[in-house]
């Protein structure tokens, strides 16, 4: 058997529409309430495949992402208790979503998870870290 030092990756995506405002002069007009539609991509990476020959079941990955995004859909993030006082930047949301997704897949996936939020076709941010 040939050994490899490569990495396998599986990714799924969904989208979510939210409203929020950002704190700080650096954000200019985005300090006012505005809407955002994020394409959210969860990318799972592992150096080995499981007993089924996969990184993670794609159906599970899609369901987990939908479940995590459901309470955010069409919400004003400024009004949600778990974001009170937070500056819900794209980077902040990527890390928060990483924690929510990781908690749900920990039992079936050990590896690295990257969560990317595309806020437009020219700009995105991501957070990557271990699931464990």
Q: What is the CATH number of the domain that holds 110?
A: 3.30.479.10
- Tally of domains within the chain: 1
CA-closest candidate to residue 97, choices 36, 41, 27: 41
Answer whether residue 106 is part of any domain.
yes
Q: pTM to 2 decimals? A: 0.94
Matching residue, tokens 């994020």: 38
Residue 67's pLDDT is what?
98
pLDDT per position in the chain (132 positions), as tens?
A: 455 689 999 999 999 999 999 999 999 999 999 999 999 999 999 999 999 999 999 999 999 999 999 999 999 999 999 999 999 999 999 999 999 999 999 999 999 999 999 999 999 999 999 998
In three-state secondary structure terms, 20 is strand
Rg (CA), the chain: 16
| Structural domain of 24 | 15-39+50-130
């Amino acid at each position: 058997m040939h050994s490899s030092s490569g990495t396998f990756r599986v990714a799924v995506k969904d989208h979510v529409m939210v409203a929020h405002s950002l704190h700080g002069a650096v954000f200019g007009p985005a300090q006012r309430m505005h809407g955002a539609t994020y394409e959210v991509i969860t990318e799972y990476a592992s150096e080995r495949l499981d007993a089924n020959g996969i990184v993670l079941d794609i159906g599970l990955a899609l369901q987990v992402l939908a479940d995590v995004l459901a309470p955010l859909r069409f919400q004003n993030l400024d009004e949600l208790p778990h974001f009170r006082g937070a500056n819900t930047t794209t980077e902040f949301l990527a890390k928060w979503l990483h924690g929510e997704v990781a908690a749900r897949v920990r039992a079936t996936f050990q590896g690295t998870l990257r969560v990317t939020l595309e806020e437009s076709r020219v700009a995105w941010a991501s957070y990557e870290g271990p699931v464990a």
